Chain A
Amino acid sequence: MQPQSSPAPAMSTVRVVRNLVVLLVALAFVAAACGSDDEEASNVATSECGTDSSFDEATEPVTDLSVAIVAPSASQDLAFTQSMVDAVAALGIEPQITDGTFQVEAAAEAIRGYADSGVDVVIAHGTQFGGSLAEIAPDFPETSFVWGTSSETQGLDNVFAYTPAADQGGYVMGTVAAAISESGTIGMVGPIDAGDAALYVDGFVAGAESAGANVNVSFTGSFGDVPLATEAATAHVGAGADVLTGTAQHVVGAINVASANDIPWFGTQANQESLAPELVVASQVYHWEVVLADIFDQVEAGTLGGEVYELTLENNGLVIEFNGCYELAEDVKNGALETIDGIIDGSISTGA
């Protein structure tokens, strides 16, 4: 009576095989739809209501360089990692990806492994990978490493660094949020008070306050705790918030609260329209491709690093993507455009 195997993994396997078909079909659709933006670059965009704006038609790759991405969360997290994966795809490049590796040692292994296997450009998409990069980059002088978010290259001449000025888009959206809030109270659900989440929060609060609204900020203490983010958003609504925003992967829960209460939502990092098609007013999207295109040009010309790029509204790396399905008053939108101009020309300070 010795069972040869336990049934669960076997059953699961059957499930996998069966669903692989579903998956392949889905992938085919995605592959067909994936591509880049051939509109002229701009720091503002408005999606056409009723269309899926996240996938545009494919273009020829901008470069023959081989590219690998090492990133901390899942490739389709609708947030930090996805912003980079989408950006590389937008340039028509198919990268090799190691995702879900927040832990620095595991990421370092992957970075070293890609460099060792001859990849031309290794994108280390996480500030926390910097220390390892300082050890790895000198070992591979022929490889270009692209690292962020960081505002320094650590003096390494084969490392490019990038950082988003997340406070800029936060400020713009804060002013818009204040304009559409009737109660004058806005709820913000954040993870922990650090990183680009903190920059976004600071910018958003400054923008909203400049327009006379108050932002209640709650940090849940976690990036992934969806139930907590959901209840945090519910608490904001109970405290009178009639506009919500938030950062990090766990906001998917908060967005559902916005949906349930018919409350406008502002997103950041990636376009979050798909989560609440009627209620996402705008998303601040990181368009790393602006930076990457320039970096790839440099690498092809033989310069492997040494420069720091900042995503800003000015260089169109930060794009305020308005949702065409949300009817935003024309004067409010124009006000946002003016705020953008003000931030670019320096007449408005985001306070961060």
Chain B
Amino acid sequence: MIRRALGAVVPVGAALVAFLFGAIMIVALGANPIDGLVAMLDGAFGTRERLATTAVRATPLLLVGVGICVAFRAKVINIGGEGQIVIGALASTAVALAVPGTPKVLLLPMVIVAGMVGGGFWGAIPGALKAYASVNEILSTIMLNLVAVQVMNYLLRGPMIDPLEVEGSRIPQTERLTDNAALPTLLSGTRLHLGVVIGITAAVAAYVLLWRTPLGFRLRAVGHNPNAARASGISVERSIVTAMAISGSLSGLAGVVLVFGSESLRMVTDGSAAGFTSAAGFNGIVAALFGALHPLWTIPSAFLFGGLLTGANNLQRVLQIPSPLAVALNGIVVVFVVSSGRVRTWIEQRIRQPVDDRGASAPVAGGGG
């Protein structure tokens, strides 16, 4: 019981300490930290509309995060989310551009599949390179993120550019995509759209996949002990490629949601990945680890980080606090929370030392490597 309570209290306490640092920085910037906190909470959760926006901003983090959970269970670190989001978005956008007249019931599933295939392909490449050519996935995913950005720049200012832009301002963006592919709004007057449901469904599906299917069993077996898995007849190579493909396809799905759930309903580049993804490929990793690498816990975790994004936006608007503060604060929260696992075991040891000495287990966020 104590253990379970500590599991919740310690990370929350760590987040509070992190916010204390945020408050000090806000004071240094000449604003009132209480006003700052109120502005953040109000911006993130203050109204029905804002809650909906927070959920929308959380969805790409959730999808990437769920993909991280799947890859991690097979002991693969996927830091290629940025590139996979971009390629997934490009693939789905290409479909919407190619067959805009298709009825919604058909087109929406088509763009979703295209995005998942695109992201899955971009994830399978480092998977295959790792499995069959011993290329470390950290190297290949970082490089493939860079490649994906240039693919995006090439396509959006060349083959996929809005024809109006060729003669006009030459903005590297597609035309406004057909409403037939737009993710329908679920709650009128808010931004809440189908993508949020897709994200939650994906999290549940990943849970079922990992713990209720033979494939999930194989992935976890490979992650747990590749040699034992191989000895029992599991193809380690194929499992690694599969894990990365699934992880990539979920990031690709995040790309679909970013394009077809946006108000602008088009894809546009500023020449960088983060300009399109808002760094969801990285923040999704944070959300997953905050959710203890469990697909279902990643749901509330992503929602909280979505709240940090929308709250920070309001903070800048209301108090004129520069936006980089929010990025820095995000980093501090991550560092404190991830460091808190050890504090938890210390407290546990202190409480239970005479009885049980097993307290020194893995940190709460899960051990790496």
Contacts and interface: CB of A to CB of B under 8 A. Distances in A.
A13 B24 contact: yes
Interface stretch (A101-109, A170-178, A264-272, A294-302): A101-109
Nearest to B331: A9
Contact of B313 (A113, A135, A223): A113
Given A96-B317, A100-B324, A113-B313, A221 B271 contact: yes
A223 B272 contact: yes
A192 B157 contact: yes
Contacts, number: 136
B323 A105 contact: no
B55 to A, nearest CB: 12
Nearest to B170: A198
B169 A9 contact: no
A224 interface: yes
Nearest to A1: B346
B272 A199 contact: no
Given A98-B313, A131-B265, A223 B270 contact: yes
Interface string B316-345: 111010111000000010011001000100
Contacts of A100: 322-324
A79 to B, nearest CB: 13
Interface string A113-150: 11001000000000111111011100000000000011
A136 B263 contact: yes
A43 B339 CA distance: 59
A163 B169 contact: yes
Contacts of B268: 104, 127-128
A193 B157 CA distance: 7
A195 interface: yes
Contacts of A198: 170
B232 to A, nearest CB: 44
B172 A194 contact: yes
Contact of B271 (A109, A110, A129, A191): A191
Contacts of B274: 103
B320 A96 contact: yes
B275 A98 contact: no
Please indicate which of the listed interface residues A149, A150, A192 has the most CB atoms of chain B within 10 Å of its own CB: A192
B148 to A, nearest CB: 12
Contact of B171 (A109, A127, A135, A224): A127
A61 B24 CA distance: 34
Contact of B314 (A13, A113, A128, A194): A113
B176 interface: yes
Contacts of A20: 28-30
Given A104-B262, A108-B263, A192 B169 contact: no
A105 B56 contact: yes
A347 interface: no
Given A6-B339, A109-B313, A149-B169, A132 B264 contact: yes
B313 A106 contact: yes
Nearest to B314: A113
Given A9-B21, A113-B313, A194-B157, A97 B339 contact: no
Contacts of B310: 109
5 contacts: A10-B21, A131-B263, A132-B264, A192-B157, A194-B171
Instruction: Name the 7 nearest CB pairs between A and B, nearest first.
Output: A131-B264, A194-B172, A16-B28, A132-B263, A135-B263, A198-B170, A194-B157
